[in-house]
Amino acid sequence: MERLKVDLCGITLDNPVIPASGTFGYGYEFAELYDINILGTFSFKGTTREPRFGNPTPRIAECTAGMINAVGLQNPGVEKVISEELPRLKKCFGKPVMANVSGFSVEDYAYTCARLDTCPQVGWLEVNVSCPNVHGGGMSFGTDPASAAEVTRAVKAVTAKPVIVKLSPNVTDVVSIAKACEDAGADGISLINTLLGMRIDLKKRRPVIASVMGGFSGPAVFPVALRMVYQVSRAVGVPVVGMGGVSTAEDVIEMMMAGACAVEVGAANLVDPFACKKIIEDLPAAMDRYGIKNLKEITEGAR
């Protein structure tokens, strides 16, 4: 449907709905439930240079209007993603996919992105400098403008694909970090990743999650995410991908009115595996309710 189409760093999406990294696996798992080609695209599971088992269990804690996770970037490593996961995905998904990349050093990021740059299936590199669930990597790069810019420059030097830097909300000034990434060559910004949170088991009198703290996501974080997308989209000249607590078609429209050109859906996929399908199906009627002819006009009008 033409009215749902948007542009993301020069690539046209049939609609702006993108399942977020870590909530959609490598795609083929959900392809057993419905035709995932209805999606704009999706961001596959966070991938690192080497395989990672992840954090000790328990890794998940439920909470009001959301959840906390501390999975810790469990993944098979970039070489197996290229040799096994992407060929399997190709059988059920015919669109460019977004590759989410994390690392523990600048060299890690550059190596992994250089390897994924060779994959025709990969349309964008979403460089995650914001994961709160690992030590010595991820968020440590995304809380300082200079470090985030260093990662951005290193990745841009090894790839011709659009680089979208994923930022953390666990900072005092997200705008300065976004601008530093843009100045270093980022083609886009995505935000927000999860907020840092924790739960305590009252009976055991200790934290629910083995690593104590984890990433808080779900509907409760939506107002925070919306505010940050609004701030960043007005401070940078590159496209912004908004996410954080999105679970309805109305949330997608609101996020785009804040300045996002596309919208990622995260925790909602873990509650309802058909969440993104339903959002896409509901979008035309939601647009009609608010007199929106096409989605491109929302972002352009919001700036």
The pLDDT tens digits of the residues spanning 136-161 come to 444 567 788 999 999 999 999 999 99
17 φ/ψ sector (left φ>0, alpha ψ -120 to 50, else beta): beta
- Selection from 302, 149, 131, 148 nearest residue 233 by Cα: 302
Active site residue 131: yes
Assess whether pLDDT exceeds 80 at residue 242: yes
Assess whether pLDDT exceeds 80 at residue 225: yes
Distance CA 29, CA 124 (A): 21
Q: What is the mean pLDDT of the chain?
A: 93
- pLDDT band, residue 302 (cuts 50/70/90): low
What pLDDT is recorded for position 183? 98
DSSP state of 85: I
The pLDDT tens digits of the residues spanning 174-209 come to 999 999 999 999 999 999 999 999 999 999 999 999
What pLDDT is recorded for position 134? 45
Q: Which residue has the tokens 């270093």?
A: 184
The pLDDT tens digits of the residues spanning 68-82 come to 999 888 999 999 999
- pLDDT band, residue 296 (cuts 50/70/90): confident
Q: Where are the chain's structural domains?
A: 2-55+73-196+215-302
Instruction: Kindly list the distances between the CA atom of residue 94 and the CA atoms of 67, 180, 265, 271, in Å, as whole numbers in the listed order.
Output: 32, 34, 20, 26
Catalytic residue among 9, 113, 131, 181: 131
Task: Kindly report the number of other CB atoms within 10 A of residue 85's CB atom.
Answer: 20
- For the domain spanning 2-55+73-196+215-302, the CATH number is 3.20.20.70
Tell me the CB-side half-sphere exposure of residue 278, using CA atoms within 13 A. Answer: 13
What pLDDT is recorded for position 101? 97
What pLDDT is recorded for position 142? 74
Higher pLDDT, 252 or 135: 252
Assess whether pLDDT exceeds 90 at residue 297: no
- Selection from 286, 178, 292 nearest residue 230 by Cα: 178
User: At a CB cut-off of 8 Å and minimum separation 6, what does 120 contact?
Assistant: none
The pLDDT tens digits of the residues spanning 244-292 come to 999 999 999 999 999 999 999 999 999 999 999 999 999 999 999 999 9
What average pLDDT does range 228-244 have in this prediction? 97
